[in-house]
Structure 1
Amino acid sequence: MIIQTTAVSKKVETSAGPLTILHAITLAIKAGESVAIVGASGSGKSTLLSLLAGLDIATTGQVLIDNENLGDLDEEQRAKIRADKVGFIFQSFLLIPSLTALENVMLPAELAGRKDAEDQARELLGKVGLGERLTHYPNQLSGGEQQRVAIARAFIGQPKILFADEPTGNLDSTTGHTVEALLFEMNKAHGTTLVMVTHDSTLAQKCDRVLEMQAGELKEQSVNVA
């Protein structure tokens, strides 16, 4: 299993006292599997995704990525795992305002020392329909265009695991279908494990498995039959 959790919970302090966001989540995801996490807003989907990706740490329980227990690592060690093995498509884009679309996509590959960073970034931006917008800054791009830049950036490292938080949520239907195709192309062609949060039931049904969250609990695991 490339991702495993055991009795993972997440609690935060609020003015009204402790609030439990996730309750004892145990799951296992195989390498190369595509998994959708669905559920109502506030059910804990994005929190779970952040824990699986090592962007946040569980209050109790264990999260393992490729047999590495994230709870045993410091932030620098977790950052290295993310850099080496993980791509993340954020719902809020998180592009660097002072960098162009091309530079935003190149950045992870440059940090990894890849000499083909610019060529790869140009190719990926072309695939998401932004070949003519390479030199534009995030504030010169629409929300949908920024989302596509974020998707290209997540792809450039050819990660073992790709996490996506509402990857098509800000896209028109035509571009959304293009992005869906790219997600599953990477999943199939490179054996990339794909884990996504989505409200799109049609997109979820294209995954190998659907996990349903309800009020911070994993209520159901259904396998999609092609």
Structure 2
Amino acid sequence: MATNTAIRVRNLTHTVTSNTGDLTILKGINMEINESESVAIVGSSGSGKSTLLGLLAGLDVNTSGDIFLYDHNFSSQNEEQRALARGEYVGFVFQSFHLLPSLQAIENVMLPAELKGDKDARKKAEALLDKVGLSHRLTHYPNQLSGGEQQRVAIARAFASQPKILFADEPTGNLDEENGNLIIKLLFDLNKSQGTTLVMVTHDNELAKMCDRQLVMSAGQLTEKTL
């Protein structure tokens, strides 16, 4: 695989079983994303966007096909191996923040680096929270923060392990316009300053247009949008 390819997907399918029978959500997806690219995955609700993002990040297991993050084939790895690869390569920002309510902002951001045994976890977390404008909120718990502040903590946490690839699922979906614009600026600033590959699912057409490429999900199939 070329060294500048961050993600490579070949013939990816994903089927789930429901009360009414098997449902194929993804149908033979093929794609490549290069290092440092920003890519938006767009499409209607229920088209498979978030399912694809979760599979790319190794949060779920596909039915068939191959997903490579650099030289790691998630499709042939067990959960322990995928977890190690996620820790090495992946950051994830969820629409609903997913902060641990019992931890302060600084502790939430420290957690990924601490799990990797980083002795400078607190110093790095303080620097990241300062970068996202929350140096005055270090000891606040999630329920003491606004939605925009919680998402900024989540972004700082995602970057705490210095991921090569950042996945974001509707990162502005629960925010007002002002906070949404701030989060967008943070994501692209970090994408540019750290060379992090950015892959996001979004319904926001203006946000999608800011990315280097747009991929359109429709009925479980993926096509490139011509800009």
Q: Shared fold (TM-score greater than 0.5)?
A: yes
Asked if structure 2 preserves the Cα contact closer than 8 Å seen for 1:128 and 1:178, the reply is no
Partners of 2:48 and 2:167 in 1: CA distance = 15
1:42 maps to a residue whose letter is G
User: Given the two structures, how large is their TM-score scaled by the length of structure 1?
Assistant: 0.93
2:99 maps to a residue whose letter is L
Asked if structure 1 preserves the Cα contact closer than 8 Å seen for 2:96 and 2:174, the reply is no
Q: Could you tell me which residue of structure 2 aligns to residue 90 of structure 1? A: 94
Q: Could you tell me which residue of structure 2 aligns to residue 151 of structure 1? A: 155
Output aligned runs, 1:22-101, within 5 Å: 22-101=26-105
The two structures, once aligned, show a CA RMSD in angstroms of 1.5
Q: Deviations over 1:102-139 (max 9, x none)?
A: 10011001112222221221222233332222212222
- Pick the aligned partner of 1:205 from 209, 217, 222: 209
SS at match of 1:23: strand
Q: What is the deviation of 1:143?
A: 2.9
Partners of 2:92 and 2:202 in 1: CA distance = 14
Unaligned runs of 5+ in 2: none
Partners of 2:179 and 2:86 in 1: CA distance = 27
Q: Could you tell me which residue of structure 1 aligns to residue 224 of structure 2? A: 221
User: Given the two structures, how large is their TM-score scaled by the length of structure 2?
Assistant: 0.92
Q: Could you tell me which residue of structure 2 aligns to residue 116 of structure 1? A: 120
Output aligned runs, 1:167-206, within 5 Å: 167-206=171-210
Q: Could you tell me which residue of structure 2 aligns to residue 12 of structure 1? A: 16
Partners of 1:86 and 1:11 in 2: CA distance = 24
Partners of 1:121 and 1:139 in 2: CA distance = 19
Identical aligned residues as a percent: 61
Unaligned runs of 5+ in 1: none
- Pick the aligned partner of 1:126 from 123, 130, 147: 130
Q: What is the deviation of 1:169?
A: 1.8
Q: What is the deviation of 1:223?
A: 5.3
Partners of 1:172 and 1:133 in 2: CA distance = 20
Q: What is the deviation of 1:144?
A: 2.8
Asked if structure 2 preserves the Cα contact closer than 8 Å seen for 1:208 and 1:223, the reply is no
Q: How many residues align?
A: 223
